[in-house]
Amino acid sequence: MKTLAATVCCLFLAVPAVHAWNAVGHRAVAGLAYDNLTKKARARVDDLIRRHPDYNQWIQGAPADAKKRARHAFMKAAVWSDTIKGDPRFYDEARRGITPTPTLPGFPDMKQHRNWHYINVAFSTDGTPLPKAPPTPNALTQLNTIIPQLASQEAVYLLPWVLHLAGDVHQPLHCVTRFRKGQNDPQGRPWSDLGGNTVNVVGAYNLHAFWDDALGIVDSDTYVNQLIKVLAKQPKEKPSVTTPDTWIQEGFQLAKDHVYSFGNEGGSKENPIRLDTNYVQKSRELSRRRAALAGRRLAAVLNTQFN
């Protein structure tokens, strides 16, 4: 297990290590997007970011130069939707018996909105019955709702969500969930693997975490900016596609074709999946392509909305 973990780390790090679609990946996607904004769009997003209630948190440790500080804050804002999951000001509205926290100035509500981060498009390769449609709200319903509202008064609150969700849905496991025989809930009904979260992997916590960390795990400004340069050199595949449903369809297909290419067997704590070096290498390459697309597409969305 230690040998495989070391191999995974080496393969993932052509540059020093980081968090992919966790903090580092979201910052890198946002940074690439920021670098591709028009002058007018950049001025608009800078203004919105400065007016967010948590702006002062985002500029902690930022460069003194005004332009670099604005870019830094924009990138930090892309992680905000994850950080509020551990912020006591916000509450998980999906939990039973939870007491809502007081609504603070500048926020429409204090909900964590955890189900906005993904869409569980179901599939099975063994005939297991599937739900008719993904639960709502989800990443698709929210992107389609939020993007047109970027011209509204709530844009200050909504912009960080767009920055984050555009990154999320370019990670394939945020677009899919697998059903298979023998995987049931306590009542014996078919149940999903929750986007790979219940699939244990040798050398990683689970399959979803493996993919979330596919671009590295050390959150530093130096690494993130190196990563942005790497992403900027990726081939420009369909960057003009600004429809979230297409982004999700792509992620769903990639998950079926590659993420679950190891087959239906294994994944329990007693029998975790052992991913070979070829799988790891392809995952790294695919992750970079998807992150680069996410950044370019996010820029295209913002340029369209703010020009």
Band (7; pLDDT cuts 50, 70, 90): very low
Band (144; pLDDT cuts 50, 70, 90): very high
- The neighbouring-strand residues paired with 192 are 179
33 vs 302: CA distance, rounded Å: 9
Q: Torsion angle, CA of 213/214/218/221, rounded to 10 degrees?
A: -120
Band (216; pLDDT cuts 50, 70, 90): confident
Domain that holds residue 39: 2-306
pLDDT reported for residue 21: 62
5 vs 201: CA distance, rounded Å: 10
pLDDT reported for residue 236: 86
Band (12; pLDDT cuts 50, 70, 90): very low
Q: Are 210 and 15 in contact (CB under 8 A)?
A: no
Is the pLDDT reported for residue 19 higher than 70?
A: no
Band (277; pLDDT cuts 50, 70, 90): very high
Cis status, amide bond into 137, omega within 30 of 0: yes
* C-alpha 156, offset from chain centre: 20
Q: Which range (7-11, 16-20, 136-140) has the least confidence?
A: 16-20
Q: Torsion angle, CA of 10/30/114/5, rounded to 10 degrees?
A: 0
Q: Which range (6-20, 198-212, 236-250) has the least confidence?
A: 6-20
Is the pLDDT reported for residue 5 higher than 50?
A: no
- Provide the domain count of the chain: 1
Is the pLDDT reported for residue 8 higher than 70?
A: no
pLDDT reported for residue 241: 83
Closest CA to 292 of 220, 251, 218, 235: 235
- Contact residues for 64 (Cβ-Cβ < 8 A; gap 6+): none
pTM: 0.91
Q: Which residue has the higher pLDDT, 213 or 255?
A: 255
**What are 49-87's pLDDT values in tens digits?**
999 999 999 999 999 999 999 999 999 999 999 999 999
Is the pLDDT reported for residue 1 higher than 70?
A: no
Q: Are 298 and 166 in contact (CB under 8 A)?
A: yes
pLDDT reported for residue 239: 65
Is the pLDDT reported for residue 6 higher than 90?
A: no
Average pLDDT over residues 216-232: 93
Band (240; pLDDT cuts 50, 70, 90): confident
Is the pLDDT reported for residue 9 higher than 60?
A: no
- Contact residues for 75 (Cβ-Cβ < 8 A; gap 6+): 26, 27, 28, 30, 31, 34, 224
Q: Which range (237-241, 242-246, 252-256, 298-302) has the least confidence?
A: 237-241
pLDDT reported for residue 4: 37
What CATH code is carried by the domain that includes residue 88?
1.10.575.10
Average per-residue pLDDT in the chain? 91
% of the chain at pLDDT higher than 90: 84
